[in-house]
């Protein structure tokens, strides 16, 4: 009888708990998803890293989400206030005064003021490892003239000083409480719109900084997913695993893929004029390229429009200018030359080369050049090299394409161990001063980037332009471009467009001002 | 059973397995004459075309004729494969036989070296070697040779060690034959008989390794057409123009499988077969006849 009682009470209890459990399991995720929106998911090509402002190890684009500069690089190179609300440069260019934004705090609660700003600037200004930044090299002292007033005194004028303050690293501001006893950064704590909550080799998770001084993001979290493969990224975007992909430094999108994705109704592709140029550079040490006429023959053999159509799928502009127009002081536009194999051949004849079959000979030597490329360093460069090889072979110039890895190209570039190679200008916000100083001045150590071209005459022209101010700067910058053209020192090929893509979940998508920055803070999300 | 079916069909037409291999060899030898276009010639007015009368297998992203490139690619793959195989065989047989013949400490050192190389995957050895000497056609050949010779060395050494103790070697030695004579006359044929068979089975794997290295950008330099490189170039266009990937992939599959079939066929020939009753009868009769002859001769004497 007792057993019967137990079984009669057990059955309803069992049914009740089963129903309850099922209900909880089904309803809970619905409730929680209603409260918590899925984060904005952006693909990144490599892991973020520790975001140390003084070390060259982390991915550049994530910094802009966490750290703010004094001045921001805006559209078309306009300077916009960030942590400084206004600024003034003295007439002689040696004194920069800033009025700092008030009521700003780092995400750990530490207030931002002239003292914290000065502490930050002193961490890198005047240090030898940051001598590549003009303002750091010329820094004499940093003064705080009030709670929110700061002055930087320079030993010489640095015309690009304000632009230098817009770059990503090391100029942005870190909380003074985020360093250890030796002054090394311990955590990425800034004043920016986002706070890093999780950071590993597969993703970086950021949550909204509710104390952010600017307009706060409309959604609460952002996930940066590491997807190294380009095809996997575009598939992820189409399947809805990712919301935004693109940008040279964030997660490059190839022109081919962009073209394919344009036909997908669920994906929007954004193609905007880029700030970089792809250059075919001549080694100043190559014996075969010492004669300017050989360089001119090469330039005349190149068909830039075909490169744009085939390699860039139309997402580029053919150019013979070092910088695209969006870069300040980029100079007068040079008319695009027509490909002219006949003239190219006559240039070679003038230079003393004799045609024999489909090759050129001089003193028993064949005109054969090595074109060094690295897919890792510049995606798509091997195919571009094959195309140039084909174009030059019509003139009879033999090209040997040597495909090397990233480390090799970084070793061989600085010592000019090649005849021809591809290089890219740095792009906004580093240009024009960055490319001109680092890639054209022979005395500046540009590390693995190498040089576009070097010549003692060119050094004088570049140096004088970099030191010029006001209207004189425009004229002297033009003098650099004229020198490069007159001496055929470099063959700019194309200016690729900036390519991004996002899915329909993302609204109000706006490209960041430079590809070194991350988009997404202004966007809206719909489910 | 599919296995017995395959074996019996091969047994019926033993030369059938050679047909695809011979076809590829013929194509690669005749490549310069049978390609309708220069495989490196770019034509921007005819990029990414489908199958047509002008271009049987279409064109690639630079307007190059796919048919010509695949044929020229066969030549590149087979020539590189033959060079690597020959070099690996020469080095392997020499080192292995020397180790086996000399014996003692020399053998121990050499066999340890061979074991070390064999313990690493051959493609990893090749990649490391290219990492040191830099990419290019000849460094690819050198790297693959470095990765492949140890296999043959080990086999050669095993054959030499076992043959060395056979009575006929002792006999030759007693008759005053020199080391070189003994090795070249009596041992080398045994070594080659085994090693060449295995090498023919390796040919397919080598073609694939060459394509793999070129796929990684470490092999043949452009504009020389190579199947692995054609595959990687086609990857960009996979969605809209899959033939750019499928065609070189298909060519690669055909060559690799036909070489594997050939290797398998040779390997089967080396396996000792059980004697059939009829054969046993013939042998017994022959033996009896020989004994009879001997007895007759003895009686005469």
Domain ranges, ordered by start, for chain A: 68-164, 194-272+498-525, 278-496
Residue pair A379/B51 in contact (Cβ under 8 Å)? The answer is no
User: Helix axis angle, A456-467 relative to A433-440, nearest 10°?
Assistant: 150
* Higher-pLDDT residue of B150, B200: B150
Confidence of residue A497 (pLDDT cuts 50, 70, 90): very high
Which of B236, B238, B241, B245 to mutate: most A Cβ within 10 Å? B236
Question: Contacts of residue A375 in chain B, CB cutoff 8 Å?
Answer: 217
First to last CA, chain B: 59
B62 part of contact set with chain A, CB < 8 Å: yes
Asked if the Cβ–Cβ distance from A404 to B134 is below 8 Å, we say yes
Cis amide leading into A429 (omega within 30): yes
Residue pair A190/A169 in contact (Cβ under 8 Å)? The answer is no
Q: Does the domain spanning A194-272+498-525 belong to CATH 3.20.20.140? A: no
pLDDT beyond 80 at A3: no
Q: Which of A44-58, A288-302, B12-26, B165-179 has the lowest mean pLDDT?
A: B12-26
Would you call B213 helix, strand, or coil by DSSP? helix
Which of A318, A383, A417 to mutate: most B Cβ within 10 Å? A383
**Nearest-CA distance from B135 to chain A in Å?**
7
CA closest to B224 among chain A residues = A386
Q: Which of A350, A5, A375, A65 is nearest to A204 (CA)?
A: A65
Over range A452-474, report the average pLDDT: 93
* Higher-pLDDT residue of B123, A457: A457
Q: What is the mean pLDDT of chain A?
A: 91
Instruction: Report which listed range, A127-141, A486-500, B112-126, B195-209, is most confident.
Output: A486-500
Residue pair A222/A44 in contact (Cβ under 8 Å)? The answer is no
List Cβ neighbours of B171 (8 Å cut-off, separation of 6 or more): none
Asked if the Cβ–Cβ distance from A386 to B222 is below 8 Å, we say yes
* Higher-pLDDT residue of A351, A7: A351
Question: Contacts of residue B221 in chain A, CB cutoff 8 Å?
Answer: 400-403
B47 part of contact set with chain A, CB < 8 Å: yes
pLDDT beyond 80 at B187: yes
**How far is A248 from A236, CA to CA, in rounded Å?**
18
Asked if the Cβ–Cβ distance from B62 to A387 is below 8 Å, we say yes
Q: Which of B65, B72, B69 is nearest to B27 (CA)?
A: B72
Asked if the Cβ–Cβ distance from B236 to A309 is below 8 Å, we say no
CB count within 10 Å of CB B240 equals 12
Which secondary structure element, helix H or strand E, spans residue A316, and what is its range? strand A316-318
* Burial of B180 per CB tally in 10 Å (0-12, 13-18, 19+): exposed
Question: Contacts of residue A377 in chain B, CB cutoff 8 Å?
Answer: none
B240 part of contact set with chain A, CB < 8 Å: yes
Q: SS3 sequence, B28-85?
A: HHHHHHHCCCCCCCCCHHHCCCCCCCCCCCCECCCCCEHHHHHHHHHHHHHHHHHHHH
B290 part of contact set with chain A, CB < 8 Å: no
pLDDT beyond 80 at A429: yes
Which secondary structure element, helix H or strand E, spans residue B260, and what is its range? helix B243-270
pLDDT for A294-305, tens place per residue? 999 999 999 999
Residue pair A401/A429 in contact (Cβ under 8 Å)? The answer is no
Q: Using only C-alpha atoms, what is the Rg of chain A?
A: 28
pLDDT (0 to 100) of residue B264: 80
Over range A118-125, report the average pLDDT: 95
pLDDT for A303-341, tens place per residue? 999 999 999 999 999 999 999 999 989 999 999 989 999
pLDDT for A147-198, tens place per residue? 999 999 999 999 889 999 999 999 999 999 999 999 999 999 999 999 999 9
Residue pair A438/A132 in contact (Cβ under 8 Å)? The answer is yes
- What CATH number is given for A278-496 in this structure? 3.10.105.10
Confidence of residue B273 (pLDDT cuts 50, 70, 90): low
- Global confidence as pTM: 0.83
Distances in Å between the alpha carbon of A436 and those of A159, B123, B163?
A: 13, 44, 73
Asked if the Cβ–Cβ distance from B62 to A310 is below 8 Å, we say yes
User: Would you tell me which residues 126-165 of chain B have a C-beta closer than 8 angstroms to some C-beta of chain A?
Assistant: 134-136
**How far is A362 from A353, CA to CA, in rounded Å?**
5
Residue pair B59/B117 in contact (Cβ under 8 Å)? The answer is no
- What CATH number is given for A68-164 in this structure? 3.40.190.10
Question: Contacts of residue A238 in chain B, CB cutoff 8 Å?
Answer: none
* Higher-pLDDT residue of B280, B270: B280
pLDDT beyond 60 at A37: yes
ipTM of the prediction = 0.77
Percent over 70 (pLDDT), chain B: 92
Asked if the Cβ–Cβ distance from A260 to B223 is below 8 Å, we say no
**How far is A267 from A259, CA to CA, in rounded Å?**
11
Confidence of residue B274 (pLDDT cuts 50, 70, 90): low
Distances in Å between the alpha carbon of A328 and those of A70, A322, A325, B27?
A: 20, 12, 7, 58
Residue pair A431/A420 in contact (Cβ under 8 Å)? The answer is no
Q: Which of A351, A346, A249, A347 is nearest to A291 (CA)?
A: A351
Residue pair B36/B68 in contact (Cβ under 8 Å)? The answer is yes
Which secondary structure element, helix H or strand E, spans residue B232, and what is its range? helix B227-235
Bridge partners (DSSP) listed for residue A223: A41, A205
Confidence of residue B298 (pLDDT cuts 50, 70, 90): confident
| DSSP letter, residue A282 | E
Q: What is the β-pairing status of strands A498-503 and A267-272?
A: antiparallel
pLDDT (0 to 100) of residue B173: 87
CA closest to A255 among chain B residues = B236
Confidence of residue A28 (pLDDT cuts 50, 70, 90): low
Buried b / exposed e over A369-403, threshold 16 CB at 10 Å, is: bbbbbbbebbbbbbbbbbbbbbbbbbbbbbbbbbb
């Amino acid at each position: 009888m007792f057993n019967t009682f137990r079984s009669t009470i057990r059955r309803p209890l069992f049914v009740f708990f089963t129903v309850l459990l099922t209900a909880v399991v089904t309803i809970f995720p619905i409730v929680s998803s209603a409260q918590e929106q899925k984060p904005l998911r952006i693909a990144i090509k490599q892991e973020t890293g520790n975001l140390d402002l003084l070390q060259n190890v982390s991915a550049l684009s994530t910094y802009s989400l966490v750290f703010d500069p004094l001045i921001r690089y805006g559209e078309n190179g306009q300077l916009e206030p960030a942590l400084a609300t206004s600024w003034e440069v003295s007439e002689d260019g040696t004194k920069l005064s800033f009025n700092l934004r008030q009521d700003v705090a780092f995400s750990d609660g530490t207030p931002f003021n002239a003292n914290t700003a000065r502490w930050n600037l002193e961490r890198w200004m005047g240090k030898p490892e940051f001598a590549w930044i003009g303002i750091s090299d010329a820094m004499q002292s940093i003064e705080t003239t009030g709670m929110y007033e700061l002055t930087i005194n320079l030993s010489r004028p640095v015309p690009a000083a304000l632009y230098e303050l817009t770059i990503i690293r090391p100029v942005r501001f870190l909380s003074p409480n985020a360093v250890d006893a030796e002054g090394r950064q311990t955590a990425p704590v800034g004043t920016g719109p986002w706070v890093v909550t999780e950071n590993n080799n597969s993703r970086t998770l950021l949550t909204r900084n509710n104390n952010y001084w600017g307009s706060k993001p409309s959604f609460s979290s952002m996930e940066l997913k590491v997807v190294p493969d380009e095809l996997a990224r575009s598939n992820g975007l189409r399947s809805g695993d990712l919301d935004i992909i693109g940008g040279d430094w964030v997660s490059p999108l190839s022109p081919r893929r962009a073209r394919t994705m344009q036909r997908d109704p669920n994906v929007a592709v954004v193609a905007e004029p880029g700030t970089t140029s792809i250059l075919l550079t001549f080694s100043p040490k190559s014996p075969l390229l010492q004669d300017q006429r050989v360089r001119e023959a090469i330039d005349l053999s190149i068909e830039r429009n075909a490169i744009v159509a085939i390699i860039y799928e139309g997402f580029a502009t053919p150019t013979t200018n070092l910088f695209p127009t969006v870069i300040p002081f980029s100079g007068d536009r040079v008319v695009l030359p027509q490909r002219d194999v006949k003239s190219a051949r006559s240039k070679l004849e003038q230079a003393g080369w004799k045609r024999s079959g489909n090759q050129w000979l001089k003193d028993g030597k064949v005109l054969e050049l090595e074109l060094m490329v690295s897919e890792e360093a510049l995606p798509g460069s091997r195919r571009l090299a094959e195309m140039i090889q084909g174009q030059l072979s019509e003139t009879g110039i033999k090209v040997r394409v040597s495909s090397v890895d990233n480390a090799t190209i970084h070793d061989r570039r600085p010592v000019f161990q090649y005849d021809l190679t591809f290089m890219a200008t740095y792009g906004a916000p580093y240009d024009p001063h960055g490319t001109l100083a680092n890639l054209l001045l022979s005395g500046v150590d540009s590390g693995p980037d190498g040089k576009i071209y070097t010549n003692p005459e060119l050094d004088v022209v570049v140096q004088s332009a970099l030191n010029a101010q006001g209207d004189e700067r425009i004229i002297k910058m033009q003098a650099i471009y004229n020198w490069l053209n007159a001496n055929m020192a470099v063959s700019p090929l194309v200016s690729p467009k900036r390519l991004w893509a996002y899915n329909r979940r993302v609204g109000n998508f706006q490209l960041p001002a430079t590809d070194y920055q991350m988009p997404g803070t202004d966007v809206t999300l719909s489910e | 059973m599919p296995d017995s079916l395959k074996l019996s069909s091969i047994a019926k037409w033993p030369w059938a397995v050679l047909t695809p291999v011979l076809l590829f060899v013929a194509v690669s030898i005749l490549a310069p004459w049978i390609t309708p276009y220069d495989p490196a010639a770019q034509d921007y007015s005819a990029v990414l075309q489908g199958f047509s009368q002008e271009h049987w297998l279409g064109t690639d992203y630079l307007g190059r004729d796919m048919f010509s490139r695949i044929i020229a690619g066969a030549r590149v793959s087979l020539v590189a494969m033959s060079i690597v195989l020959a070099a690996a065989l020469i080095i392997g047989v020499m080192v292995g036989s020397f180790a086996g013949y000399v014996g003692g400490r020399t053998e121990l050192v050499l066999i340890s070296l061979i074991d070390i190389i064999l313990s690493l995957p051959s493609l990893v050895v090749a990649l490391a070697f290219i990492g040191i000497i830099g990419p290019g056609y000849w460094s690819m050949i050198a790297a693959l040779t470095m990765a492949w010779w140890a296999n043959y060395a080990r086999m050669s050494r095993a054959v030499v060690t076992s043959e060395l103790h056979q009575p006929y070697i002792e006999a030759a030695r007693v008759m005053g034959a020199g080391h070189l004579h003994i090795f070249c006359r009596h041992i080398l044929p045994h070594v080659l008989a085994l090693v060449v068979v295995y090498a023919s089975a390796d040919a397919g794997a080598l073609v694939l390794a060459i394509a793999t290295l070129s796929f990684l950008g470490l092999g043949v330099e452009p504009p020389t057409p190579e199947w692995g490189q054609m595959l990687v170039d086609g990857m960009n266009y996979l969605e809209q123009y899959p033939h750019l990937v499928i065609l070189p992939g298909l060519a690669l599959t055909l060559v690799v499988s036909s070489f594997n079939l050939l290797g398998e066929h040779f390997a089967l020939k080396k396996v000792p077969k059980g004697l059939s009753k009829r054969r046993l009868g013939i042998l017994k009769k022959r033996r009896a006849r020989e004994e009879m002859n001997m007895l007759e001769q003895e009686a005469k004497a």
